[in-house]
Amino acid sequence: MKTDTGWRSSSNLFIFTRVRLVALGHLLPIGAHSFHEIMSAARSFEGCTYTDGNYRYIPPLDWKTELKPLWEQAEKKVKNDIRK
């Protein structure tokens, strides 16, 4: 019989990476914390890896299909805001 291994179970790894995304989605827009602060804090949980300054690797999201289009959209918005 297979037993749960506590915090390191695969279901918890799935949850941790998604909770990190929720924290990013809620705390960044209101300026409560920076990307670096959120990712650094989440790094203490198994499966939530982060290398300082790497904004392209945020599991479970994929850079090419999910993050790059958002990055490009944000860049356009910033450039437009600067021109105003």
Is 61 within 8 Å of 21 (Cβ atoms)? yes
The 10 Å Cβ neighbour count of residue 48 is 18
Angle, CA 12 vertex, CA 37 and CA 54 arms, to 5°: 30
**1-13 tens-digit pLDDT:** 444 455 455 667 7
- What are the pLDDT digits (tens) for 52-82? 988 888 888 888 888 888 888 888 888 888 8
pTM, to two decimals: 0.66
- Nearest C-alpha neighbor of 5 from the set 42, 39, 46: 46
